Amino acid sequence: MNVLFAGGWDLAGACLADRLIAEGHRVCWVTSCGEDSLWNKRYKGSVYRGTLTREEYLRILKSNSIDAVIFLTASFRENLEELPEYESQIGELTDLLGALRNHPVKSLVYLSSLELDYPNLYTPVLTDLAAGEMLCQANQKAFGIPVLILRLGCVYGNFAVDRMGYTGQILNKMKRHLPISCSYSRDGLLDTVSGEDAAAALYLLLTLKKQGLYRLFGGQPLTFQEYFALLGKAAGETYSVQWGSSRETPNREFFLADRAVNLETGWMPLCLLSQKGVQVLQKALRSFSKDSRPRPESRFRKKVARLLKRKSIRGLGETLLAFAGVCLLLPFSQDISDLKYVDIRLMFVAVISALHGLKLGLLAILLASASYLYSLTSAQVDVSYFLYSVDTWIPFVVYSLAGASIGYLTDRRLDEYDSLAESKRLLEDKYAFLKTIHGETLEIKNKLQKQIQNSKYSFGYAYEVAVKLDSLKPELIILKITSLLEHIMDCKKAALFLLGSNTRYARLKACSAELRNTIPASLDLSGYPRIQECFAKRETFLNTALEPDYPDYAAPLYSQDQLVGFVALYDVGADKYTIYFQNLFHIITNLIEQSLAKALKYERLKRDELYYPGTSLLYPRAFQERLNIMRMESGDIAYSFVLAKVYPLQQETREAVARRISGVIRGSDCMGVDAQGDYAVILVNMKEAYLDMLKDRFLRFGLRLEVVTET
């Protein structure tokens, strides 16, 4: 994949560029920055500096076959305290989008800020950032450009403090003992994420070709007081903060509710500020603690050192130094007899060609030839003799053959060495990358293992569910069912229906808070044939066809081969339509069914102790116990009930009154005699709007209904 970065230097962009290059992708950068480098120095990439027009953008996109564009906005993010002078990015972004209309790409990534979600936070720089988001979204709708907007919090990493946004500003003030003021209160919240984690998340979103707006959270929101304490620990300095309250931050739920990036990509932050982040910041402060600006007296020395480090300059100096030595030895060759049999110039050519290759070997040949010519002219040899005598050409031929052949062999050896060195470096990079991936994998494995051990889906929690349901009171089991289903299935809409002798109509017994005003109190199962088919086979219904008005999950509850009710889940989400959650739902409903069947059997055996003979009228003690259960659980479970007294309009036997009351109330309600000896009923999930209608119905049966409490 060929990726183009556009905009000023960005910490998140720098980490992403290194990640892309390490993964084998090719990157380039368009920027108006001077000498800055976006990626690691050992990596290579094309850099286009200056302000470009739309045509120049298009030429760069086509010449580099760009597949994805990352628009960097670091100067517009993390201005939590300062309101800097800035130049709008809209012109540059408009030209880039105009070029993208004529060059299709797989993704345009616009880096934005979580501050846009903060309440009542309006600053010019954030307005410009929001305008950039709107411009990208408008081009996506109008021209089909695939746009990914990623909102980030405070990004930190192993970089100089002046390149680390708000975190770097605070660290710099702490190190310089400057006063620190915060416009937010000490209890205000912010989110932090390391540059490496942000790059990993963005890389996953890119490779999965995601579009739309995503928010990236580190998963551990910090109060500003905790945040400053961690930065103070990293800086190793004492500090004081002047707190304010002129700005507000979102609540903790905002930083924890949006998990779209985690769910859709499997991304997890590995470097939290409260854990490894302090060590990262300490390392950054140690690396950049010294003043990076060169001192005036050392500039020349550093330039000379840089020149001497260049291989070509060093080789040229060695060649000239060796030639100077040859020139010094030549006069002695005439006086020392042993040196007469040694050609010092040929030795010079051979040594230089063997050490530095063909290029400097040719220079050595020229220098040796010039020295030989100088010797001839010094010996007053006639030029015509030099031209017409073949003997004088032999040294030139020998120098050339020796230098060319040895230089060629040396170059080939050096090329092979460079190739092997490059292969070794690539292998080392791959090994380091794989080692990092292996370490991250082990860390993720350990985290997931801990999560599984402590998860609500673990065997330990399944045992806890069984313990909670291990009760001989049907009402207590019924009232706990919805809360258990909500927690286990991670669903906000669960309901329990009970069936009486007429299995066509199901009465709502308990439901989640979000369903209280939307779900009917009575359900006609004849309108749900698919559910009836599954219940007849004792199978769980799964709404894979997405039929309207049907629940997503529904499981029957049997007692002594008789259908007594069912549980239903609504709006469980697409990620719950998996074999795992189907099996989980099946296991939990089986536990519920077994516990409920056992409790109903116990109640049948104890019926003589609970009900007046021949009626469904509870004794005062049993009725009061049922009422206490309802009141005890109403604080934790989303259901309501109405307690009312019933007065017969004429004197009748207890059995006759019980028959009249049972003809009015529903199967999910209960009746009995209260502590004062009056007839009473508990009406479950009875809405206030229907009370007058119910009173009229009681009157038609010769009974007067008087409401005592509504819960």
pLDDT digits (tens, 9 = 90+) for 664-696: 887 667 899 988 888 999 887 777 777 888 888
Share of the chain above pLDDT 90, in %: 16
SS3 content of the chain, % helix, strand, coil (to 5): 55, 15, 30
Number of neighbours of residue 139 by Cβ within 10 angstroms: 20
Burial class for 3, CB neighbours closer than 10 Å (0-12, 13-18, 19+): buried
Query: To which residue do tokens 């508990």 refer?
Result: 682
102 vs 667, higher pLDDT: 102
pLDDT of residue 108: 94
Q: Nearest Cα to 621, choosing from 667, 698, 677? A: 677
Q: What is the distance between the alpha carbons of residues 68 and 206, in angstroms, rounded to a whole number?
A: 8
Q: Which amino acid is at 670?
A: C
**For 523-551, what is the mean pLDDT?**
88
pLDDT, tens digit, 9 for 90 and up, residues 610-667: 888 888 888 898 888 888 877 765 544 545 788 899 999 888 888 888 888 888 887 6
Q: Nearest Cα to 593, choosing from 543, 634, 558? A: 558
Question: Judging by DSSP bridges, how do beta strands 562-569 and 553-559 pair with one another?
Answer: antiparallel
**For 333-355, what is the mean pLDDT?**
74
Does residue 443 register a pLDDT over 80? no
Contacts of 450 (CB under 8 A, 6+ apart): none
Q: Where in 191-341 does DSSP place strands (E)? A: 192-194, 212-215, 222-223, 241-243
Does residue 295 register a pLDDT over 50? no
Number of neighbours of residue 44 by Cβ within 10 angstroms: 11
Read off the pLDDT band of 138 (50, 70, 90): very high
pLDDT of residue 473: 67
Does residue 358 register a pLDDT over 70? yes
Does residue 388 register a pLDDT over 80? no
391 vs 191, higher pLDDT: 191
Does residue 294 register a pLDDT over 50? no
Q: What is the distance between the alpha carbons of residues 345 and 368, in angstroms, rounded to a whole number?
A: 5
pLDDT of residue 146: 94
β-bridge partners, 181: 242
Does residue 559 register a pLDDT over 60? yes
Read off the pLDDT band of 97 (50, 70, 90): very high
Read off the pLDDT band of 455 (50, 70, 90): low
Read off the pLDDT band of 111 (50, 70, 90): very high
Q: What is the DSSP letter of 578?
A: S
Q: What is the distance between the alpha carbons of residues 349 and 329, in angstroms, rounded to a whole number?
A: 15
Q: What is the residue-wise DSSP string for 165-211? A: HHHHHHHHHHHTT--EEESS-TT-EE-EEEHHHHHHHHHHHHHTT--
**For 155-161, what is the mean pLDDT?**
87
Q: What is the distance between the alpha carbons of residues 701 and 695, in angstroms, rounded to a whole number?
A: 10
Burial class for 318, CB neighbours closer than 10 Å (0-12, 13-18, 19+): middle
pLDDT, tens digit, 9 for 90 and up, residues 210-223: 999 999 998 888 99
pLDDT of residue 291: 44
pLDDT of residue 155: 92
Cβ(660)–Cβ(626) below 8 Å: no
Q: Nearest Cα to 6, choosing from 145, 99, 120? A: 99
Query: To which residue do tokens 């910490």 refer?
Result: 11
Q: What is the distance between the alpha carbons of residues 408 and 31, in angstroms, rounded to a whole number?
A: 42
pLDDT of residue 663: 83
602 vs 116, higher pLDDT: 116
Answer positive or negative: Cα dihedral of 51, 57, 61, 62.
negative
**For 381-391, what is the mean pLDDT?**
67
Q: Directed axis angle between helix 474-489 and helix 620-633, to 10°?
A: 20
Cβ(318)–Cβ(356) below 8 Å: yes
Read off the pLDDT band of 94 (50, 70, 90): very high
596 vs 389, higher pLDDT: 596
Burial class for 642, CB neighbours closer than 10 Å (0-12, 13-18, 19+): buried
Burial class for 271, CB neighbours closer than 10 Å (0-12, 13-18, 19+): buried
Does residue 245 register a pLDDT over 90? no
Helix/strand number for the chain, H first, E second: 24, 24
Q: Which two tokens stand for residue 484?
A: 């258990």
pLDDT of residue 636: 46
Burial class for 580, CB neighbours closer than 10 Å (0-12, 13-18, 19+): exposed
Cβ(475)–Cβ(626) below 8 Å: yes
**For 255-276, what is the mean pLDDT?**
85
List of long-range contacts for 168-176, beta carbons under 8 Å, 24+ apart: 169/81, 169/82, 170/228, 170/231, 171/231, 171/234, 171/235, 171/281, 171/285, 173/239, 174/231, 174/232, 174/235, 174/237, 174/239, 175/235, 175/237, 175/285
Domains annotated for the chain, with CATH where assigned, are 2-156+193-219+251-271 (3.40.50.720), 301-421 (no CATH), 459-605 (3.30.450.40), 608-710 (3.30.70.270)
pLDDT of residue 293: 44
Burial class for 287, CB neighbours closer than 10 Å (0-12, 13-18, 19+): exposed
Mean pLDDT of the chain: 82
Q: What is the residue-wise DSSP string for 612-663? A: -TTSSEEPHHHHHHHHHHHHHHTTTSS--EEEEEEEESS---HHHHHHHHHT
Contacts of 523 (CB under 8 A, 6+ apart): 497, 505, 506, 507, 508
Q: Directed axis angle between helix 278-287 and helix 224-235, to 10°?
A: 40
* 104-113, 265-274, 428-437: least confidently modelled range: 428-437
Does residue 274 register a pLDDT over 60? yes
709 vs 309, higher pLDDT: 709
Does residue 82 register a pLDDT over 80? no
pLDDT of residue 297: 45
Instruction: With residue 46 as reference, give the H or E element that holds it.
Output: strand 46-49
Does residue 564 register a pLDDT over 70? yes
Task: Establish how many alpha carbons lie within 13 A of residue 2's alpha carbon, considering only the half-sphere containing its beta carbon.
Answer: 12
Instruction: With residue 466 as reference, give the H or E element that holds it.
Output: helix 459-469
Q: What is the distance between the alpha carbons of residues 445 and 439, in angstroms, rounded to a whole number?
A: 10
Question: Judging by DSSP bridges, how do beta strands 679-684 and 670-673 pair with one another?
Answer: antiparallel
pTM score, two decimals? 0.49
pLDDT of residue 151: 92
**For 399-423, what is the mean pLDDT?**
86
